[in-house]
Structure 1
Amino acid sequence: MVKFVGIAGSLRPDSYTHQALAHAVDRLTAMGAEVEVLDLRTMNLPFCDGGNEYPDHPDVRRLQDAVKQADGLILATPEYHGSVSGVIKNTLDLMSFDQLDGKVAGVISVLGGQPNSNALNHLRLIMRWVHAWVIPEQVAIGQAWKAFGEDGKLLDEALATRFDQFARSLLDNTRKLRG
């Protein structure tokens, strides 16, 4: 079975980023994948200081172990000031090649304005530096306040189809690249 870790780089209680991640997780699990979501809102992660050890923060080890054991990642970020959130960047900085090298990743961005690729491109750059493989398909949700219903469901059928394509590509490419 292919195993993924999902991480949303938002700390908001009713986060559209978490809703987007949940859609990707639902589609992957429906396709037979196992997905563990690490909710950063409930974890005690320090700011990265460039060190390798964080003995006073056991959630760092939990994060590192979960990612190391996974075949791939789903990374979802809000776009703040034209880039990834500090939360997702710090989370990735708390890991190294030991956890991220060779991982397959799918990336999702959520923003209040028009959809663009800034945060997605920055995630691709970060992941390339740690020798991860980012799939070609990606999801950018602009005007997120229009994308989700009160129940958290997607309102746009084309966006729902995009999530299906994203999940299929992530699963298929992970299987290919992980052997």
Structure 2
Amino acid sequence: MVKFVGIAGSLRADSYSQQALKLAAQRLEALGAEVELLDLRSLNLPFCDGGKEYAGYPDVDRLRHAFHQADGFILATPEYHGSVSGVLKNALDLMSFDQLSGKVAGLISVLGGQPNSNALNDLRTILRWVHTWVIPDHIAIGQAWQAFDADGKLQDAKLSERFDKFAQSLVENTRKLRDVA
């Protein structure tokens, strides 16, 4: 069994990034994967200052431990000003090669306007720097306010299929990398 951890870089109460992350987790679990979702809204994380120790912030250790134990991870981010959210970037900055290197990642971006790949490309650059393997399949949800119904389900069948392919790719590539290692 492969194990994933997921975080979304939105602190908004009715976050579409959180909804997309939960959908991806459900698809992974349907394939037999174990998934732990960490909610950055409930973690007490400091601003990264480049240090290794963050006394008084046990959630930094919780975040690092979850990523260290996982075979791979899912990152979901709203696109703010053409890039990844500061909340997600800060969480990644609090970790190091010990937690991120050699893992497989799947990426999701959520936008109020038309889908594009700015935040996804920035995340790929960040993760490549720490030696994370990012799957080629990704999800970009444009006009997110129309993408979900009141129950958090996707309204577009093609987008739902993308989530299935995304989950399949993430599981398959994680298994391959883990089996080789």
Q: CA deviation at 1:67?
A: 0.2
> Which residue of structure 2 aligns with residue 54 of structure 1?
54
> Which residue of structure 1 aligns with residue 132 of structure 2?
132
CA distance in 2: counterparts of 1:99 and 1:87, whole angstroms: 18
CA distance in 1: counterparts of 2:134 and 2:45, whole angstroms: 25
Secondary structure at 2:136 match in 1: coil
> Which residue of structure 1 aligns with residue 173 of structure 2?
173
Q: CA deviation at 1:21?
A: 0.4
> Which residue of structure 1 aligns with residue 147 of structure 2?
147
* Letter aligned with residue 21 of structure 2: L
> Which residue of structure 2 aligns with residue 8 of structure 1?
8
CA distance in 2: counterparts of 1:38 and 1:125, whole angstroms: 23
CA distance in 1: counterparts of 2:13 and 2:95, whole angstroms: 25
- Structure 1 stretches of 4+ with a deviation exceeding 3 A read none
TM-score, length-normalised on structure 1? 0.99
CA distance in 2: counterparts of 1:81 and 1:178, whole angstroms: 36
Secondary structure at 1:20 match in 2: helix
CA distance in 2: counterparts of 1:133 and 1:55, whole angstroms: 31
CA distance in 2: counterparts of 1:98 and 1:177, whole angstroms: 17
> Which residue of structure 1 aligns with residue 27 of structure 2?
27
Q: CA deviation at 1:70?
A: 0.2
> Which residue of structure 1 aligns with residue 95 of structure 2?
95
Q: CA deviation at 1:44?
A: 0.1
Structure 1 unaligned blocks of 5 or more:
none
1:63 paired to 2:83: no
1:115 paired to 2:123: no
Deviation digits for residues 118-154 of structure 1 (CA, Å, limit 9, x no counterpart): 0000000000000000000000000000100011100
CA distance in 2: counterparts of 1:59 and 1:172, whole angstroms: 30
Q: CA deviation at 1:55?
A: 1.4
CA distance in 2: counterparts of 1:34 and 1:73, whole angstroms: 11
CA distance in 1: counterparts of 2:110 and 2:142, whole angstroms: 6
Q: CA deviation at 1:165?
A: 0.2
TM-score, length-normalised on structure 2? 0.98
* Letter aligned with residue 50 of structure 1: G
Secondary structure at 1:136 match in 2: strand
CA distance in 2: counterparts of 1:20 and 1:34, whole angstroms: 17
Q: CA deviation at 1:36?
A: 0.2
* Letter aligned with residue 100 of structure 1: L
CA distance in 1: counterparts of 2:80 and 2:59, whole angstroms: 25
CA distance in 2: counterparts of 1:11 and 1:128, whole angstroms: 25
